[in-house]
């Protein structure tokens, strides 16, 4: 049981880390730090950095939560700790 828990928790933390990397890159990276550079590229009428800051990051946040919840379901089942 102890061993299982360690392996399970390691996978969970790995998933959280990956999601947080994307979360950080799209909002703080593209939306803030790199925005001035990305603004040279246009997405329709949007400067790209501005789009990430005021639109894109939010769409990606939604995708991240649903993706996370789906992958967590798989990890739970793999380790047999899902709810009955």
Partner 1 sequence: MSLQATTYLFVGLSFALYIGIAIYCRAGSTKEFYAAGGAVHPVLNGMATGADWMSAASFISMAGLIANFGYGGALFLMGWTGGYVLLAMLLAPYLRKFGKFTVPQFFGTRYYSKAASTVGVFCLLAASLTYIIGQMTGVGVAFSRFLGVSNSTGIYLGMGIVFCYAVFGGMKGITYTQVAQYCVLILAYTVPAIFISLQLTGNPIPQLGLGSDMAGTSVSLLHKLDMIATDLGFAQYTTHTRISTLNMFVYTVSLMIGTAGLPHVIMRFFTVPTVKDARSSAGWALVFIAILYTTAPAVAAMAKMNLHNTTFNYKIMGNAQAGVEVDHNFDLFAPDSGTLYASRPDWMKRWEVTGLLKFEDKNGDGRIQYYNDKSKNPEFQAKAAAAGWKGNELKVNGDIMVLANPEIALLPNWVIALVAAGGLAAALSTAAGLLLAISSAISHDLLKEKFMPDLTEGQELMAGKISMAVAIVVAGYLGLNPPGFAAGTVAIAFGLAASSIFPALMMGIFSKTMNKQGAIAGMLAGIGITMFYVFAHKGIFFIKSTIFIDSVGGPNFFFGIEPNAFGAIGAVVNFAVAFAVKNMTEPVPADIAQMVMDVRIPKGSKAVDGAH
Kindly state the smallest distance separating residue 19's Cβ from partner 1, in Å.
6
DSSP codes of every residue in 39-79: TTSEETTEEHHHHIIIIIHHHHHHHHHHHHHHHHHHHHHHT
Kindly state the smallest distance separating residue 64's Cβ from partner 1, in Å.
5
d(CA 82, CA 6): 16
Residues β-bridged to residue 46: 43
Q: Contact residues for partner 1 (CB under 8 A)?
A: 5, 8-9, 12, 16, 19-20, 23, 27-28, 31-33, 35-36, 39, 43-47, 50-51, 53-55, 57-59, 61-62, 64-66, 68-69, 72-73, 76, 79-84
Kindly state the smallest distance separating residue 58's Cβ from partner 1, in Å.
5
């Amino acid at each position: 049981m102890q061993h299982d828990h360690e392996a399970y928790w390691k996978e969970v933390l790995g998933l959280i880390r990956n999601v947080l990397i994307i979360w950080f890159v799209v909002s703080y990276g593209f939306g803030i730090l790199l925005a001035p550079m990305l603004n040279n590229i246009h997405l329709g009428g949007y400067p790209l950095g501005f789009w990430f800051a005021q639109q894109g990051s939010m769409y990606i946040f939604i995708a991240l939560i649903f993706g996370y919840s789906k992958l967590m379901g798989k990890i739970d089942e793999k380790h047999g700790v899902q709810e009955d």
